[in-house]
Chains A and B, each alone.
Chain A
Amino acid sequence: MTTTVQGLDRRTFLKLVGGGIVVMVSVGPSALLGQERRRGYPEDLNAYLRIDEKGHVTIFSGKIEMGQGVMTSQAQMAAEELGVGLDSVTMVLGDTDQCPWDSGTYGSLTTRVFGPALRAAAAEGRAVLMQLASKKLGVPKENLLVENGVVSVAGDPSKKVTYGELAQGKQIARLVDEKALLRSVKEFKLMGASPKRLDGVDKVTGRAKYAGDIRLPGMQYARIVRPPAHGATMKSVDVSAAKEMSGVTVVQQDDLVAVLAGDPETAAAALGKVKAEWTKPSLDVDNDGIFAYLLEHAPAADVRLNRGDLAAARSSASRVFESTYNTAYLAHAPMEPHTAIAELKDGKMTVWAGTQTPFPTRDGIARAVGLDPKNVRVITPYVGGGFGGKSSSRQAVEAARLAKAAGVPVQVAWTRPEEFFYDTFNPASVIKVASAVDANGVITMWDYDVYYAGERGTGIFYEIPNAMIRTHSSWGGGSGAPTAHPFAVGPWRAPGANMNVFAAESQIDIMAAALGIDPLEFRLRNTKDPRMRSVLQAAADAYGWKAAAAPSGKGRAIACGIDAGTYVALIADVKVDRATGNVKVDRVVCAQDMGIVVNPDGARMQMEGCITMGLGYPLAEELRFKGGDVLDRNFGTYHLPKFSMLPKIETVLVKNDELLPQGGGEPAIVPMGAVIANAVFDATGARLYRLPMTPARVLEGIRKAEKKT
């Protein structure tokens, strides 16, 4: 077997880490998900552990910590397999000179794809240490026990040796394959437990460093001249007034015009003195007209699923339910705007960046400044939220270009209005569904076209004999064709799945209601998938579900989905103010089967986070724009979920220890649009097909529903 260690050969790596035992892991292509391959990343992941002379373990991982808790969960996995305590583990994350190559932290991949590699590395580390201990103590391996990094002889605990003693002065590199013997659930001491977050104290004391908290001698704060609208090109620029300011440097390099100063306020003042004229393209579309525009410009369909005989099913159906669903552009709006600091020193560019993709960002910087990637180092401090938005790290390239041009360390920290402009927004989407159901409440047909949200979340877990699924453009833009979006779009927590599940699970509810069947019963009747049935049942039990067809007037509903290998069912209670159209979610019960749970409390944090963040896109979040002008540039008009919107959230982890750990960062947000829309229907009889369900749209829906009856 050969190891491919991207960007770092084995010898260099060994030199870098010094003494101790080094374990390298190579995961074959088979272990990777299709998603990785599709994005064209090299098909290997590598994990390294280092055990120093004192028995302290350092784990190097290309993943980054942006709140999802993987600093802690990765430490648990490694410490579990190695047989050391959590307090003897230090995590080094997202440093391209120290960590093994990684494509990025997204897609809920850390635990389910990188996790097995890391565990295998640690397990092999333990095997190596046990061999050494066996030799040292003169006892066969089978008679040795290990706990907290101490190997002792079974029945004779006075005979012992520590990992530190064993590792001292040795440098043994072992190549591990993924078959290394992992500990079983029954043996777990650290996995399956909920230690406190390793980043907790740093974060409550203000000691946690984010990119913008890095200070370098002589560092300058940059502000960049920005276009007023997407697609605008610079006609002319006059920087003379800025240049005259004391302590201000102006950089003009192709499309990049920036002012640099010793503090952010002077830089802002200098930017204010730059006069630029722009040519704005005319683009006659806004956030209301976008859906027709998108359909008009839609690329040809990719058929994802085609089974049975759709035409026959349609013609024999007594009633076909046809719906069109619309969802809005969304901002990621992490609390930390994109920030980076760059320093060029002795031909080496070092960039501290808030990024989800340290390695691809390194490569992008290398291209932009004309350096070999090995002369570029990206260091990722704590990241203040990402949600997919920091997969793209334009600010890091900007900082590197400016540092090179100015010959001083430069900080680029986007302002909030810049963040609301250069964000890679979640795409607006249109989804058309036609479906049919027989008199027994069995779904017979599913004809599904999704425009601009892509494939994720379109998978059918209901038994439908005749089904067609077509995608028109992915969530990332076009499929080769030029994008119809007025600005950049990109991955937003569970890309596309929120939209697809909103449409699909609304459609399921529409059919259940039309037949007067309880929505839980309708779902159970149509799915045999045991994991889906178990999460539906678990959510219903925790909630105390009593069967009633919608609209029951209660304002409660159910929705479910599969994401990142995890099954999730949500039940929500809402109150709808019929006078104002305001929707308040009072309670959300979430049941989730995510296989083995590495850190139950961490998993619950992610479920709660998904549900809380997931109040926004169904109810309040919509990026307004006119042509290339983004109209919402700060939190005054773009509304994130707030404390007043908070429901009571209850989480249930459905035990499934037969399955390796699955994704946890995204699944629970996926059915939030549907469960709230379904609950609004249950409360009022008004079916809403467009997100967000703003008070005005809810009122309009209620009026329409009243007219019908």
Chain B
Amino acid sequence: MKKTIQFRLNGRPTKLTTDDDRRLLWVLRTDLDMTGTKHGCGAGLCGSCTVVVDGKAVRSCQTPLKNVDGKEVLTIEGLEQNGKLHPLQQAFADHGALQCGFCTPGMIMNAYALLQQQPQASRDAIAEGMERNLCRCGAHQRIVAAIEEASHAKGGRS
């Protein structure tokens, strides 16, 4: 149904009138021209489209727009502050925790929510928390190391 939906996107008030059953992924990528969030499987199985809604990681390809009405949406584009990389972004770059980079925005957003919920996540907890995000290049070992470092860098606050 066509509706006006309002939410905060990366800290900025956002308002659009469209079918509220549409998936957040396509609204971000098409209507809002924010292409950092990727389409990988369309079924919530790979995590490439992960964004953070009210502090929780969600699969934007499975999220109807109406679910974010009045909420706070954070995407990969919103992590950098005043030209400074977020500690997670910095750690991913420092560790070479990426190869093709296509899963990276989803990995980082999933890790962001994970560290919000478990600021002192152990290596095992990180691996467990990242389980549903797929990476075909095999950057897993470095992804775990990067997340672990980012959690330390912020003194447990991400």
Question: Is A644's CB within 8 Å of the partner chain B?
Answer: yes
Question: Is A469's CB within 8 Å of the partner chain B?
Answer: no
Stretch at the interface among B1-9, B34-42, B52-60: B34-42
CB–CB B102/A206 < 8 A: no
Question: Is A66's CB within 8 Å of the partner chain B?
Answer: yes
Question: Is A708's CB within 8 Å of the partner chain B?
Answer: no
Question: Is A437's CB within 8 Å of the partner chain B?
Answer: no
CB–CB A210/B26 < 8 A: no
Question: Is A413's CB within 8 Å of the partner chain B?
Answer: yes
CB–CB A643/B33 < 8 A: no
Our count of residue pairs bridging A and B at CB distance below 8 angstroms stands at 173
CB–CB A605/B96 < 8 A: yes
A644 contacts which chain B residues (CB < 8 A)?
127-128, 131
User: Taking the nearest CB of chain A, how far is it from the CB of B70, in angstroms?
Assistant: 22
CB under 8 Å from chain A, chain B span 118-157: 127-128, 130-144
Cα A614 to Cα B138 in complex, Å, equals 9
CB–CB A204/B85 < 8 A: yes
CB–CB A196/B101 < 8 A: no
Known contacts A200-B93, A265-B23; is-contact A608 B142 (Cβ 8 Å): yes
B75 contacts which chain A residues (CB < 8 A)?
206
Give 1 or 0 for each of A626-646: 1 = CB within 8 Å of chain B CB.
000000001110001111101
Partner of B100, one of A335, A634, A648: A335
Cα A212 to Cα B89 in complex, Å, equals 22
CB–CB B96/A205 < 8 A: no
User: Taking the nearest CB of chain B, how far is it from the CB of A482, in angstroms?
Assistant: 31
Known contacts A643-B128, A643-B140; is-contact A634 B26 (Cβ 8 Å): no
- Chain A binding site: helix, strand, loop or mixed by DSSP? loop
CB–CB A201/B85 < 8 A: yes
Per the CB 8 Å criterion, the residue count for chain A at the interface is: 61
Partner of B136, one of A212, A333, A649: A333
Question: Is B158's CB within 8 Å of the partner chain A?
Answer: no
A611 contacts which chain B residues (CB < 8 A)?
138
CB–CB A335/B135 < 8 A: yes
CB–CB B104/A204 < 8 A: yes
Question: Is B113's CB within 8 Å of the partner chain A?
Answer: no
CB under 8 Å from chain B, chain A span 34-79: 66-69
Give 1 or 0 for each of B82-101: 1 = CB within 8 Å of chain A CB.
00010001101110101111
Cα A281 to Cα B90 in complex, Å, equals 54
CB under 8 Å from chain B, chain A span 188-206: 196-197, 199-206
Residue among A201, A209, A383 with most chain B CB within 10 A: A201
Cα A602 to Cα B48 in complex, Å, equals 23
CB under 8 Å from chain B, chain A span 590-615: 601-602, 605, 608-614
User: Taking the nearest CB of chain A, how far is it from the CB of B127, in angstroms?
Assistant: 4
Residue among B39, B131, B143 with most chain A CB within 10 A: B39
CB–CB A383/B100 < 8 A: yes
CB nearest neighbor in A for B41: A416
CB–CB B37/A416 < 8 A: no
Partner of B131, one of A66, A415, A642: A642
- Give 10 pairs: A residue, B residue, CB < 8 Å, sorted on A: A200-B92, A203-B93, A204-B108, A205-B80, A206-B77, A335-B136, A385-B136, A416-B42, A602-B96, A609-B99
B: which residues have CB within 8 A of A? 22-23, 26, 29-31, 33-43, 45-46, 48, 75-77, 79-80, 85, 89-90, 92-94, 96, 98-105, 108, 127-128, 130-144
For the A-B complex with A215-B35, A613-B136, A646-B144 known, give 20 more contacts whose Cβ atoms are closer than 8 Å. Answer: A199-B101, A200-B98, A204-B92, A204-B98, A205-B76, A206-B37, A210-B102, A221-B30, A263-B26, A265-B23, A335-B48, A335-B136, A609-B139, A613-B138, A634-B43, A641-B138, A642-B131, A643-B133, A644-B127, A646-B141
